[in-house]
Each structure stands twice: as C-alpha cells, then as structure tokens.
C-alpha cells in the first residue's frame, strides 16, 4: 500500500508540475496579447481620424455650395424682378421723342393763339392719353424748374446769372426728362443759376 501511495503521489506531483509548466508557458502568451491589439487599435484610430477629416471637408464643401446657391437664387430673383420692371425700358425710351414733338406742336400753337383749334385740341388729348399710358408702366416726368440741380437727373447745358433763382438751382427746362420707376430713363436738359451777377455783387460789397 505504501508503494502504491508513493506512485500515486508521484503521478500527482508530475501532473501538477506539468500544469505549472503549462500555466507558466501560457502566461507569456496572455501578457503578449495587448501588444498585438495595440497596432490594430492605432490603425483603427487613424482610419477614424481620416474619415472624420473627410466628413469635415465634405461638410465644408456642402456649406459653401449651399451659400453659393442661395446667392445665386437672390441674384436670379433680383434679375427677374428687374427684367419685369425694366424689360420694356428701350421701347418706352423710343416714345419720348414723340412726346417732345407733340409738346412742341402744342406750345407753338399757343404762341400763335391757335390753342382753341380742333387740331391742337386733338393733339393735346392724344398727348395726355399717351402720357397716361406711359405712366401706367412707371414713366414719370422729372421735376426741374426751381429744383436744386441734380447731376443724376439733370443735364446742365448752360449756367446763367440770376438774381431771383438761388445758385445751383434750375432756371429753365429745354427738354423734359423722364424716370422709369427709380431709374433715369432720360435726363432733363436744363439751365442752371450761377447766382447773382457780378455787378450786383460789387454793388452789394460797395455798401
């Protein structure tokens, strides 16, 4: 019995020794596992960072394109409004000489005391109708006489000394000007006051 017990204990010791050796061999493998995982984790982090940068670049491009599209829509809408508002500008400008001739004819008839004739009355009526039609499309005459000179809407053809009209104010109108909505269709040709004459200035200074 003692011999059998010794043999069994020897086997147990042998098995325990094998178990210890196997666990000792397995321990380095488990310790070396993180070293094999770290490169994979680093690679995944780099790939994630690269994809994040790609998404950021794509988002920036999208935002720029969206902003450019909004600007394009605003410009297109403004051009469309201007096209509707001023699309017939050239046609309306072609009517202005006709208005000028009709006004000259009426003025000449008045100067010759022929204002009461049927022909002059017919021309006057036609002028009023034509002016009304142009007014429906936004054409309005520019005020001139007595107004301060405005280089945007007035074209000065002469400067005349005046004791009654302030300096840089319109004295007389040679050709009527017109405005289409807020745009000058044709500037008015006017004479502008240059202020009091030099003789009056000298007289005033002598006192």
Q: Compute CA 113 distance to the chain's CA centroid, rounded to the nearest angstrom.
A: 55
Helix axes 118-136, 89-111, angle to 10 degrees: 150
In whole angstroms, what is the distance from residue 176 CA to residue 138 CA? Answer: 16
Adjacent-strand bridge partners of 188 = 154
Determine which helix (DSSP H) or strand (DSSP E) holds 178, and give its type and residue range.
strand 178-180
CATH superfamily of 139-197: Head domain of nucleotide exchange factor GrpE (2.30.22.10)
Note every long-range contact of 111-119, with CB atoms under 8 Å and residues 24 or more positions apart, other chains counting.
Answer: none
* pLDDT tens, residue order, the chain (207 aa): 445 555 555 554 544 554 454 444 444 444 444 555 677 788 888 888 888 888 999 999 999 999 999 999 899 888 888 888 888 888 999 999 999 999 998 888 888 877 677 888 888 899 999 999 999 999 999 999 989 999 999 999 999 998 888 999 999 999 999 999 989 999 999 999 988 877 544 443 332
Q: The tokens 């600007």 sit on which residue?
A: 71
Find out whether 149 and 170 touch, Cβ atoms under 8 Å. yes
For the chain, the straight-line distance linking the first and the last C-alpha, in angstroms and rounded, comes to 159
The token pair at 63 is: 């935002």
How do strand 188-193 and strand 154-160 relate by DSSP bridges? parallel
**Torsion over CA of 139, 140, 144 and 146, rounded to 10 degrees?**
-170
């Amino acid at each position: 019995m003692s011999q059998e017990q010794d043999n069994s204990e020897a086997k147990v010791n042998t098995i325990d020794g094998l178990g210890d050796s196997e666990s000792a061999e397995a321990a380095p493998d488990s310790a070396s596992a993180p070293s094999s995982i770290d490169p994979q984790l680093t690679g995944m982090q780099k790939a994630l960072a690269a994809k994040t940068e790609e998404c950021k670049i794509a988002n920036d491009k999208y935002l720029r394109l969206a902003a450019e599209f909004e600007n394009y829509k605003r410009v297109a809408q403004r051009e469309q409004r201007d096209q509707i508002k001023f699309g017939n500008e050239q046609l309306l400008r072609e009517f202005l000489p006709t208005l000028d001739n009709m006004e000259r004819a009426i003025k000449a008839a008045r100067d010759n005391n022929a204002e009461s004739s049927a022909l002059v009355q017919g021309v006057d009526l036609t002028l009023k109708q034509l002016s009304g039609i142009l007014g429906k499309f936004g054409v309005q005459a520019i005020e001139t006489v007595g107004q301060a000179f405005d280089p945007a809407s007035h074209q000065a053809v002469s400067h005349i000394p005046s004791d009654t009209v302030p300096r840089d104010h319109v004295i007389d109108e040679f050709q009527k000007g017109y405005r289409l909505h807020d745009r000058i269709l044709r500037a008015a040709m006017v004479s502008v006051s240059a202020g009091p004459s030099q003789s009056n200035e000298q007289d005033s200074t002598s006192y």
